[in-house]
Chain A
Amino acid sequence: MEADVVIVGGGPAGMACALRLAQLIDEHNASGVDEMLSKENIYVLEKSREVGQHCLSGGLLDPRSMKELLPGFEKEAPLDAEVTKESVWFLTKGGQYKAPIVPPPLRDHGNYVVSLNKFAKWMGQKVEEAGITVFTGFAGSELLWADESRDAETACVQGVITDDKGVDKEGQPKGNFEPGYELRAKVTILAEGTRGSLAKELIGKLGLEDPEHAQTYGVGIKELWEIPAGRVAKGEVIYTLGYPLTSREYGGAWIYGITDTLASVGYVTGLDYQDPRIDPHHVFQSFKEHKFARRILEGGKMIRYGAKSLPYGGWLTMPRVYGNGWMLLGDSASFLNSQRLKGIHLAIKSGMLAAEAAFDALLSGNSSADTLSEYKAAVDRSWIREELWPVRNFHQGFEHGRLEGFVKAGIQQVMRGGNLGPDAKNHAGYEQMRQLDTLGPADADRAAMVGNAKGDGKLTFDRLTDVFHSGTRHDEDQPVHLVVQDLNICSDRCTKEFGNPCQYFCPAAVYEMVDSAQQDGAGGSAKELRINFTNCVHCKTCDIMDPYQIITWVPPEGGGGPNYDGM
């Protein structure tokens, strides 16, 4: 199928891009020119069954870019609450300390508490109304290359292939098999979210990442809670640092009041921790047991669950975002401000700017890197750079712990983002993971974050209970979409060196070490990896955090995955 533009991913970045492109084409066609442009062959591919079902955020929306995209959007968009008050807390195991002032980056007046699921769904409606086709239940599985050289200057992308449907677990076609479509596009825009599978291929193949600045990530784990009135006000925003993480790990919690009786609660753990036994889901569960959170949640009811990774690296880890026939948007390209813990507004803005370059390409009939470089130039001129440049060193500052991080953040505040010296490098988080024999047994103060949480079934939950609340579904008779290059590494090297951290970092209990038929050296039965892929919530944490980098997340059959309705 021929296409003018294919946008892979119907989140805020992709939808903003489609909408802006429709606006530009409409304006162009209304201006009385001879040559009209058509929106007929502009497509958005979205792997979830319905738009928004794979969209997860805390979520707070800085309305800046939406005001530009759709002036007056506040009147019709599904915004749950305007932020009315905020506080920042530091938690120790038994104590809680309120920050005397809210640090400026965390001041949220003027922002909105939103359900990104509902917001993306609404944007999807706008896109369809604007005359652009959204194909839900279709993932971008492979890139189509016109020139496959491993050089960003010459390589050329000319579309994507969508996922095959109706393939059984052995990889054989079933009776209702439908091969993927080759969508040949003049411009291919990847807006797949964090660690997009096509974006990863593109970045790796063309070497788009600065070798000194590997992308760094965190994983956010969220639950939606119905709580008794009077605990968190509608529009109230609470951030915490500290417990259960220690000064050695990066992360913190949020609690947002959606209504007076509905709260978004979650915890982000930096995916650059050292101890392979850490379980980010356990970290979150332990946070809820702290008296600070317990006071808010106890007696309430958890109604939804989800997990998503996010790029922390910021400006310096941004890969090259354009080339011949392609552009990268949103979380796939590091458009996130980790100091403000916000990315939706940047994702939207990146989509809008990419749309302008795509429009130029359609108009001129030239979608080479030359034309699309205008996207990067526009990013550099825009407030995206103004916002991200001064915080470019923020996350790296925490590499050696929290104390040093705060000192460095303070210096950067004074130095307008600079360090006392050159910009700090970014190291891939999985490289920080240490082998078990260098760590010794986990001491008591780490019990709250290592190993899987058991859960009490009321305030805290084990992972399977939580995954049930994510509404995740996959057809069981399909190939495993978590491709492990060499399973021997798992049962042999990894067991010895890291103790199979996949059992802990996956927030959906996908990875399990089970007894195998083989004997181990000591006469007991050896363990082997079982991949419960139907649990997968598409967060990509495994692809990011696996210490050997042998797990590759590929899209399962379109339509499968979590259902983040209302999240």
Chain B
Amino acid sequence: MKILVCMKQVPQKDAPLRLNESGTWIRDDVSWETNEPDAYALEEALRQKEKHGGEVAVITAGPARSQQVLREALAKGADRAIHLEDDRFAQMDAANTARAIAAAIEGEAFDLIVTGLQSDDFGAAQTGVLLAEILGIPHATIIIGIEKTDSGLKLKRELEAGHYQHIEMTMPAVLTIQSGINKLRYATLIGIKQAKTKPMRKVAWAEVEGKLSKHVQKIEKLYVPGSQKKTRKIDAPAGEAAKQLVEYLRNEARVL
């Protein structure tokens, strides 16, 4: 199986976030890490390769720092990497990110493309689905189990409230992977060393620019909501306080 994993670099989960000067996104001086659902997508791709043979390629779109994500993936066992490297890739909307990825892998016939179901920063959950659309292949989202069959794939999707859906699909396909589908492996010393010599193809902005169109989504303004917590203390004997509380809940808060 020839598998592509689409990965993204996002701010580290506990990083203290601050707004940038223009109030359109966060400041860049945070630590970065691999988007968690993408890490699970990579792990799943590596496991499929270990079972069925083939190749795992990884791709990301972002500035120079995002190369770290690819290096870690190579260290864990991916065979090669593609880096759409430009600062401008960081602020693209999901549709253009999908177009850029599609352009970068033109001519490559992947059997399977996997990515995390959404990013920890924007959380749009669109790029994978849009990529399938652009490539003209089927997709399925929130995948929590993958089994390759003779004719294609048997998949388990995680729905809400503990329900699952079992579907079958043909390949090639795009799957967006749910966190927790597997247990992540550690990079090994030998893996880290070998990663240095694995191929890393860089794709410049100019190479894909022609395939992009106007951003249809843009963040106009980002702000920290002011605290709106109001506390009222009912100071009365228990029976009286209970009465007042019910009155409040019924007439003012209107939740009863």
A residues sitting closer than 8 Å to B (CB atoms) are 1, 49-50, 53, 133, 135, 137-138, 162, 165-166, 174-176, 178, 181, 183, 303-304, 468-469, 471, 473, 563, 565-566
* 7 examples of A-B residue contacts, CB within 8 angstroms: A133-B192, A138-B189, A174-B183, A176-B185, A178-B186, A181-B188, A471-B12
Contacts A166-B186, A176-B183, A178-B188: A471 and B14 contacting too (C-beta < 8 A)? yes
Q: Does B180 contact A (CB under 8 A)?
A: no
Residues from chain B with Cβ under 8 Å of A468 in the complex: 14
A135 near B192 with CB under 8 A, answer yes
B134 at the interface (CB under 8 A from A): no
CA distance A176 to B76 in the complex (A): 12
The chain A residue with its CB closest to the CB of B68 is A50
1/0 per residue, CB under 8 A from A, across B178-206: the answer is 00000111111110110010000000000
Please tell me if the beta carbons of A133 and B196 are within 8 angstroms of each other in the complex: yes
Given A563-B12, A563-B31, A565-B30; A135-B186 close (CB under 8 Å) = no
A175 touches B192 (CB 8 A): no
Determine if A565 and B29 form an interchain contact, defined as CB atoms under 8 angstroms apart.
Answer: yes
In contact, A181 and B16 (Cβ under 8 angstroms): no
| B187 proximity list for chain A (CB < 8 A) | 137
Chain B residue with Cβ nearest A166: B186
Q: Which residues of B contact A (CB under 8 A)?
A: 12, 14-16, 18, 29-31, 33, 68, 183-190, 192-193, 196
Known A-B contacts A175-B183, A566-B29; the reply to A162 vs B16 at CB < 8 A is no
**What are the 3 A-B residue pairs with the smallest beta carbon separation, nearest first?**
A165-B186, A178-B186, A175-B183
Whose C-beta in chain B lies nearest to the C-beta of A566? B29
CB contacts (< 8 Å) of A174 on chain B: these are 183
CA gap between A245 and B189 in the complex, in Å: 47
Q: Verify A304–B189 contact, CB threshold 8 A.
A: no
Q: Across the interface, do B15 and A471 meet the contact criterion of CB distance under 8 Å?
A: yes
CB distance from A291 to the nearest CB of B (A): 28
Majority SS of interface residues in chain B? loop
The smallest C-beta distance from B66 to any residue of chain A, in angstroms, reads 13
Residue of A175, A471, A473, A566 with most chain B CB atoms under a 10 A cut-off: A471
Contact B189 A50 (CB under 8 A): no
| Nearest CB in chain A: distance from B193 CB, A | 6
**Known pairs A1-B190, A135-B189, A176-B185. 18 more at Cβ < 8 A?**
A137-B187, A138-B189, A176-B183, A176-B184, A176-B186, A178-B185, A178-B188, A303-B16, A304-B16, A468-B14, A469-B16, A471-B12, A471-B14, A471-B15, A473-B14, A563-B14, A565-B29, A565-B30
Give CA–CA (A162, B190) in the complex, Å.
13
A138 and chain B: residue at smallest CB distance? B189
Task: Tell me how far the C-beta of B63 lies from the nearest C-beta in chain A, rounded to whole angstroms.
Answer: 15
Other-chain contact of A1, B15, B33, B183, B189 (Cβ < 8 Å): B189
Rounded to whole angstroms, the CA-CA distance of A178 and B31 in the bound complex is: 26
| Residues on A with beta carbons closer than 8 Å to the beta carbon of B31 | 50, 53, 471, 563, 565
Residues of A within 8 A of B189 (CB): 1, 135, 138, 162, 181, 183
A175 to B184, CA, bound (A): 9
Residues of chain B with a CB closer than 8 A to A566's CB: 29
Once bound together, how far apart are the Cα atoms of A135 and B71, in whole Å? 12
**Which residue in chain B gives the minimum CB-CB distance to A162?**
B189
B186: chain A residues within 8 A (beta carbon): 165-166, 176, 178
A412 to chain B, nearest CB (A): 43
Residues of B within 8 A of A473 (CB): 14
CB-CB < 8 A to A303: which residues of B?
16, 18
Give the most central of B18, B30, B189: most A CB within 10 Å.
Answer: B189
Bound Cα distance from A468 to B186, whole angstroms: 26
Chain B residues whose CB sits within 8 angstroms of the CB of A181 once the complex forms: 188-189
Across-interface contacts of A563 in B (CB, < 8 A): 12, 14-15, 31
Q: How far is the CA of A565 from the CA of B183 in the complex (A)?
A: 28
Residues in A whose Cβ lies below 8 Å from that of B185: 176, 178
Who on chain A is nearest to B189 by CB?
A: A181
C-alpha spacing A149/B185, complex, angstroms? 38
B122 to chain A, nearest CB (A): 22
- Distance between Cα atoms of A303 and B18 in the complex (Å): 10
CA distance A165 to B18 in the complex (A): 33
Residue of A nearest to B196 (CB): A133
* Minimum C-beta distance from B92 to chain A (A): 25
